[in-house]
């Protein structure tokens, strides 16, 4: 599994504000959208293109158009806050949804929604703000593989070393794109220093 950490001063400043417990819900959603858009752009570096020619006001111009755009799969509910950013960056992408709820005792995911389409070898970008234990990400990757995915990329704001190692050991994801690898997980499976519960900070307490 290839790990890409997006190092950019604007993203770093936005991530700092996201971490701040004083950041209100409205601002948190705005920042999440902005960082997610930057991460999707970074993940899109490997999307293939085909040459095209268009007519500019000054005459013919050679350019490219995207081909084989990835299917976007947000993990609900926190990943929903990344979807609009993904569709802004990749407006030709199809979308599926995977709803997972973490059991706070076992830290394992349980499913309440799955609308992943037949993928037929297409690349997939899984969207989830946090890679903590890795349980949800691994489950999501296994589901998209079962639906026939090609290359699987996980896009998240923050990742814990424990989650990265679990993901690597599972062999379920080809690439991880994140804005930060944080210190560790605490005793209840939250990322430290992290930013708290991304779902609660976007939408209120579950």
Question: Who contacts 20 (Cβ-Cβ below 8 Å, separation ≥6)?
Answer: none
* Assigned fold of 2-46+70-203: Rossmann fold (3.40.50)
Provide the 3-class DSSP secondary structure of residue 65: strand
pTM equals 0.90
From first to last of the 206 residues of the chain, give the pLDDT tens digit. 999 999 999 999 999 999 999 999 999 999 999 999 999 999 999 899 999 999 999 999 999 999 889 999 999 989 999 999 999 999 999 999 999 876 666 667 788 889 999 999 999 999 999 999 998 999 999 999 999 999 999 999 999 999 999 999 999 999 999 999 999 999 888 999 999 999 899 988 75
CA distance 119 to 135: 22
């Amino acid at each position: 599994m290839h790990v890409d950490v997006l190092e950019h001063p604007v993203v770093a400043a936005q991530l700092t504000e996201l971490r701040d417990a004083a950041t209100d819900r409205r601002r948190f959603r705005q920042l999440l959208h902005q960082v997610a858009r930057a991460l999707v752009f970074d993940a899109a570096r490997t999307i293939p293109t085909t040459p095209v020619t268009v007519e500019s006001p000054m005459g013919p111009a050679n350019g490219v158009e995207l081909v084989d755009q990835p299917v976007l799969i947000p993990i609900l509910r926190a990943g929903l806050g990344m979807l609009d950013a993904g569709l802004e960056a990749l407006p030709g992408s199809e979308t599926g949804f995977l709803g997972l709820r973490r059991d706070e005792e076992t830290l394992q995911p349980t499913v309440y929604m799955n609308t992943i389409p037949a993928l037929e070898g297409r690349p997939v970008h899984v969207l989830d703000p946090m890679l903590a234990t890795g349980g949800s990400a691994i489950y999501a990757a296994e589901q998209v593989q079962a639906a026939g995915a090609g290359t699987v990329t996980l896009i998240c704001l923050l990742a814990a070393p424990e989650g990265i190692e679990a993901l690597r050991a599972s062999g379920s994801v080809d690439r991880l794109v994140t804005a930060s690898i944080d210190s560790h997980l605490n005793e209840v499976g939250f990322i430290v220093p992290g930013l708290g519960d991304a779902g609660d900070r976007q939408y209120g307490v579950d």
